[in-house]
Amino acid sequence: MPPMFRIRSYSYDGLKVPADLDSRRWDMAAIGTAINEKLDERSEAACSFVVDHVSEVFRMDFNNNTATIDGAKAGHGSICVKLRGCKKLLIEATTLNCPELLYLIRAAKKEGVEVISFLYLEPEEYRRTLKGRLSDYRDFDLSGNRRFRSVQGFGSNLTEISPGHAVFFLGYEKARLGQALEQEEALRDWNKHAIFGVPAFEPSWEIDSIANNIQYFSANSLEARYAAASSVEAAYGLLNQLMTDNKTGASIVVAPLGTKPHTIGAALFLVEHPECDDAVLLYDHPQRNHLRSYKVKRWHLYDVTIA
């Protein structure tokens, strides 16, 4: 069976709003931070763009296993009602996290949204933890308070399902993969794949990701794979290919710990395969640090339609 979603990607260099995007308009948009909050420069630029190009903007959050829209608790039904009648939806992925993406995509699919667009602004540089040693240059200070726990509708008890494939999309923070492997001991017998963003957003950035995660490979029998860091389609296609090649019908666990485009691709895959034992989310709910990146290097827009 062919993949459910079609993806078209657009990329533009520079800080200013690209002319091609400036002419676009959407019926509705979801953002993950208040307009007056400054998580970093790219989040501020992304939210400003949304306000200028969308008829109705709402804020969505996910905390303590509860989704909210503009501060009010919102289950699947409420999110569907919010999107009802919307034909063109913009999801501001720079400020939204994986759980919000999942809930929005699922509701948009159910409500027949014709085009789901994802906006993502790439930074010039991420914040690093520098303590004076050369080795510290590879330490990144991007998030904290992480703990792997379920997201309602997309999780499963790994001890109760047969081992299959576990796919880890990896970024720059060395602790996240290690914590996943330590916390989820049931993954010991799974076929484990580590996906690096190659080509990276910028030359040599993939070295940071590989260097910070390579320590876990030999002891955990991880197989390295590669997908362009900015490609939603590559991440989505890789997962669907694993599903196609998987003749045993065993589950696929997806851990989106890497770039936001990879997280979008993973979210599309998880929504496409809603049976929890077919595709299972493994996620650590990071709390993003303020001023976690610097400036805006590149704009990305991904238009998604149902095939």
Domains, the chain, with CATH or none: 5-125+291-306 (no CATH), 134-288 (3.40.50)
- Each residue's pLDDT tens digit, 44-88: 999 999 999 999 999 999 988 899 999 999 999 999 999 999 999
> Is 81 within 8 Å of 53 (Cβ atoms)?
no
Contact 64, 89 (CB under 8 A): no
d(CA 42, CA 294): 8
Tens digits of residue pLDDT in 114-160: 999 999 999 987 666 555 444 444 454 444 556 788 899 998 889 88
Cα separation of 291 and 222, whole Å?
33
- Say what percent of the chain tops pLDDT 70: 89
Amino acid symbol at 27: D
pLDDT of 1: 75
- How far is Cα 255 from Cα 280, in angstroms, rounded to an integer? 9
Q: What is the pTM of this model?
A: 0.92
Mean pLDDT of the chain: 89
100: nearest Cα among 87, 124, 82, 121? 82
Q: Is the pLDDT of residue 277 over 90?
A: no
- Centroid of chain to Cα 59: 17
Structure tokens at 257: 């710990």
Measure the CA–CA gap between 33 and 95, rounded to whole angstroms: 6
Between β-strands 222-227 and 252-257, what pairing exists: parallel, antiparallel or unpaired? unpaired
Task: Kindly report the length of the chain.
Answer: 307
Is it the case that residue 286 has pLDDT exceeding 90?
A: no
Lowest mean pLDDT, pick from 20-24, 39-43, 281-285, 289-293: 289-293
